[in-house]
A and B are shown apart, each in its own frame.
Chain A
């Protein structure tokens, strides 16, 4: 992990190369996070790759309801030589949840971006095949959002329909 000072230095260098890319730095429990603007994600990740973070371990989403911007996408980067991890985080609004896809640069993000699209509704622009991955293709809504209701899911068996035991609409 870069320490708190290292993180600040990295953020400053990044700001020089990519103005307005770094919004904030978070250092929590010895873990470093860069909060970046959604538009600069590809440039930032490409710059970090030059710095040794060549392995994208994970991409996942989060919903910060009721804070705004609500949706978050987190990229867990790993430098295998120095055994160093860094989290890159960005936040987008639910009205315009658009982020540039990093799949062209990092093929491992393919399924994971699809999962975030499926669960949170973040649209990744430039993704080669942005479809739902875990939920059925005709499913409505994005179930991992915090305001998505739990329960009341109709069971898709025809027998339930015939018996009238399916959930009311």
Chain B
């Protein structure tokens, strides 16, 4: 029998039941109880809001009774800007929407344009895309994990997660020259083949990453503070989540294994063996656990994609869409004309409209592109998962403590750049 310390006995003797008691009926049965509510403004500048998110919170004591998110503080009109640029110049603009998952934004957009044109993406390009997408998914989850743990008071997690993220940024820099917003994905393939030594570096990273994820788990999984702050906190049922349009890890945490990579494979995802982690309770702990487990699965996908990386071109041979290789410009008049046409006017896309959904780190990321036959898109719209998922926040935190609001917001993982676009 382990001895229970005096402190622990005292701690456990404290009852929180007076605080947890539900107030008299809010609909006015005892008259004027709504007047007791305190409306508190949180944000837009609040470190725990993960961006410029403003929340109007109705509090009764420490309990949240209602909440309204107010957004638009970083609205930059990217969708409007895109209408004024030729198709290939839109890619760097849409990458800046959800700034943690730039490869995903680029793929959603490029995929939509490729579908409109009907261009085939070479197998090697698809595999290279998968490698970068999954690296990006890990990087995005690492930023989420580091900042979320910071919200719960665990500062060291932040350093650990950013240490691994830094390795991924270095890999991105190696393949594309940029750490963020790489513009690596092009319509029809990827910008360049991977440099010599890249594959070895990614393999080395894949060896290290599961170990590191084990370490994160060892720090957090059974950490008493983490468990108490997350387990059984702010759950939401699968039915309610579906009604609110929530997808991604939040939906999977509630037990629905919906993952577009499995359900409707794009970009050769059906070539790879991986599992879809799901939760059972749909509480904050499951949201955390699902994302942590996804890191392992992403590593598996990267390893398989490197193993099976086919030979071949890294971008489509269709010169009407993709730039000719540099060396051809000196010898071929035709290549020069194609180059000139692409760089000045850009390529024209047959009229039509397409909605192209992919599985982003936060859920279904869909890009809607409408073409009117010219060389500029007539409409680009991103269905950003953060934007839709934010609607569920109110239902998650209703009748919970304000401290849990911060933890739940962290587990919701909203990216305001994606919400406001």
Contact = CB atoms under 8 A, between A and B. Distances in A.
Interface residues of B, number: 39
B366 interface: yes
Interface string B64-92: 00000001100101011001100000000
B311 interface: no
Contact of B378 (A107, A134, A136, A146): A146
B329 interface: no
B379 interface: yes
A148 B83 CA distance: 12
B420 interface: yes
A50 to B, nearest CB: 16
A54 B239 CA distance: 11
Contacts, number: 94
Given A108-B388, A150-B80, A80 B75 contact: no
B243 interface: yes
A107 B389 CA distance: 12
A108 B387 contact: no
A60 B77 contact: no
B352 interface: yes
Interface stretch (B163-171, B301-309, B353-361): B353-361
Contacts of B75: 134-135
B381 interface: yes
Interface in B207-258: 242-247, 258
Contact of A56 (B245, B352, B368, B381): B245
A112 B368 CA distance: 14
Contacts of A31: 354-355
B387 A111 contact: yes
B335 interface: no
Nearest to B77: A143
Interface string A96-138: 0000000000111011100100010000000000001111100
Contact of A54 (B80, B242, B354): B242
A74 B366 CA distance: 13
B400 interface: no
Interface residues of A, number: 36
Contacts of A62: 353, 368, 370, 378-379, 381
A59 B250 CA distance: 20
B243 A106 contact: yes
A48 B106 CA distance: 32
B263 interface: yes
Given A29-B354, A108-B388, A150-B80, A57 B383 contact: yes
A60 B368 contact: yes
Interface of A: 28-29, 31, 54-58, 60-63, 74, 76, 80, 83, 85, 87, 106-108, 110-112, 115, 119, 132-136, 143-144, 146, 148, 150
6 contacts: A62-B353, A62-B381, A76-B366, A85-B357, A106-B243, A143-B77
Interface of B: 71-72, 75, 77, 79-80, 83-84, 115-116, 118, 242-247, 258, 263-264, 352-355, 357, 364, 366, 368, 370, 378-379, 381, 383, 387-388, 390-391, 420-421
